[in-house]
A and B are shown apart, each in its own frame.
Chain A
Amino acid sequence: MNNDPIILAFCCHYCAYAAADLAGSMRLQYPSNVRVLRLPCTGKLEVNYLLAAFERGVDGVIVAGCLEGGCHFLEGNLRARRRTERARELLAEIGIEPERLEMFNLSSAEGSRFAEIVTLMSERLQRLGPSPLRKGRESVHEAVEQMSAEAEAALAGDER
């Protein structure tokens, strides 16, 4: 639908990305307006990645990392939580609802939780309405595709 919020999900390769995969294998229904962007770990996330997403007009951002204590790189998810908090403070300072950004923790076995998270954020963003920075849906989709392609290219480089 044209009124659906555009959501970008920064997902850790070891948990949320696999959980999203599992949600698909389980044929679970969740809103299709989320674009999953794979990170090697949420510890890779920087505050300016989050701000860049909002600057390009996305309506909301999900950060999804491993359960606390379960990070493949020990504390990447804990760092991501602090960076997400800082980005939320900055959003409030700028004048954008900080609720548009939230971090969740889940394991790779929680396909249904992934579906729940996306549904929750989608409903929340429906209530908040479109981002005041969004111009046209097409330009946002293009920007999201570009960010996703850049992340995948960086990841491919890391894996080589």
Chain B
Amino acid sequence: MIVADRKSVGEIRDMVQEHRRVLLVGCGTCVTVCLAGGEREVGILGSALRMALKLARRGNVTVDECTIERQCEDAFIDALAPRVGEYDAICSLGCGAGVQALAERFPKKAVYPGLNTQFIGILESQGVWTEKCAGCGNCRLGEFSGICPLTRCAKRLLNGPCGGSQDGKCEVNADLPCGWQMIYDRARELGNLDTLYHIAAPHDWSTSHDGGPRKVVREDQCIAGLGPRA
């Protein structure tokens, strides 16, 4: 899932304080699961923001709250659309995709981000999320026993480990497990150690952030005659 965390109340206050009516919009998908932008967090931020605005002598700014199921799909934004006319700004507690989906849907409204979108990751333990995927567009997990060196190795080495790997920890941070130690351990468990004799080819980053926003097209799913632009 996409993992995010909240911006400070002060930063959000400074973004919205020149508006008169602000709608905080939560998202019921990834950011609800990572406890950053679901219904409960929207309620907490709403209360905190109203108090912060009052203390900044901006008590005339109205802050209301709502949460939709998914901000990154236009069909779900339909539920929000009838309310938006009453506000002059939206503060989204969705990920960066959610914020931009709202901005595209409501071209005449100011839209601000309430969260800092961090990474694609998983829940490591209660309250702790860790990055697992860089979304590079060219997955090579099969070469590395299911552990991604691009996200799990601090140096993004494809032929590791480096000399800084000691007792299974990374030299960058003593709390950080060495990605290459994990790759080695898992390959041994799987009886695949021989795969590590192969020199991994340099990564093809042309599928990552290159040439503007990436697009995935499934022609068979596109509406006939309209193509990917439909």
A residues sitting closer than 8 Å to B (CB atoms) are 46-48, 51-52, 54-55, 90, 93-96, 132-133
Contacts and interface: CB of A to CB of B under 8 A. Distances in A.
Given A54-B47, A93-B9, A93-B10, 17 more contacts: A46-B40, A47-B44, A48-B43, A51-B44, A52-B47, A55-B47, A55-B50, A90-B9, A90-B44, A90-B48, A93-B8, A94-B9, A94-B48, A94-B55, A96-B51, A96-B55, A133-B51
A54 B48 CA distance: 9
A11 B219 CA distance: 61
Interface in B4-55: 8-10, 40, 43-44, 47-48, 50-52, 54-55
Interface in B140-158: none
B126 to A, nearest CB: 11
Among A48, A54, A55, A133, which residue has the most Cβ atoms of chain B within 10 A? A48
Contacts, number: 38
Contact of A133 (B8, B43, B44, B55): B55
A46 B8 CA distance: 20
B125 to A, nearest CB: 15
A51 B10 CA distance: 16
A57 to B, nearest CB: 10
Interface of B: 8-10, 40, 43-44, 47-48, 50-52, 54-55
Given A90-B9, A93-B9, A93-B10, A48 B55 contact: no
A51 B54 contact: no
Contacts of A51: 44, 47-48, 51
A48 B44 contact: yes
A47 B52 CA distance: 16
A80 to B, nearest CB: 16
Grouping DSSP codes into helix (H, G, I), strand (E, B) and loop, the B interface class, with mixed when no group exceeds half, is: helix
Contact of A132 (B9, B10, B55): B55
A118 to B, nearest CB: 24
A144 to B, nearest CB: 16
A93 B47 CA distance: 12
A94 B48 CA distance: 6
Nearest to A90: B48
Nearest to A96: B51
Nearest to B55: A95
A48 B52 contact: no
A156 B97 CA distance: 43
A99 B106 CA distance: 42
Contacts of A54: 47, 51
Contacts of B48: 51, 90, 93-94
B52 to A, nearest CB: 5
B16 to A, nearest CB: 14
Contacts of A55: 47, 50-51
A95 B52 CA distance: 7
B45 to A, nearest CB: 9
Among B8, B47, B52, which residue has the most Cβ atoms of chain A within 10 A? B47
24 contacts: A46-B40, A47-B44, A48-B40, A48-B43, A48-B47, A51-B44, A51-B47, A51-B48, A51-B51, A54-B47, A54-B51, A55-B47, A55-B50, A90-B9, A93-B8, A93-B10, A94-B51, A94-B52, A94-B55, A96-B51, A132-B55, A133-B51, A133-B54, A133-B55
B129 to A, nearest CB: 17
Contacts of A94: 9, 48, 51-52, 55
Nearest to A46: B40
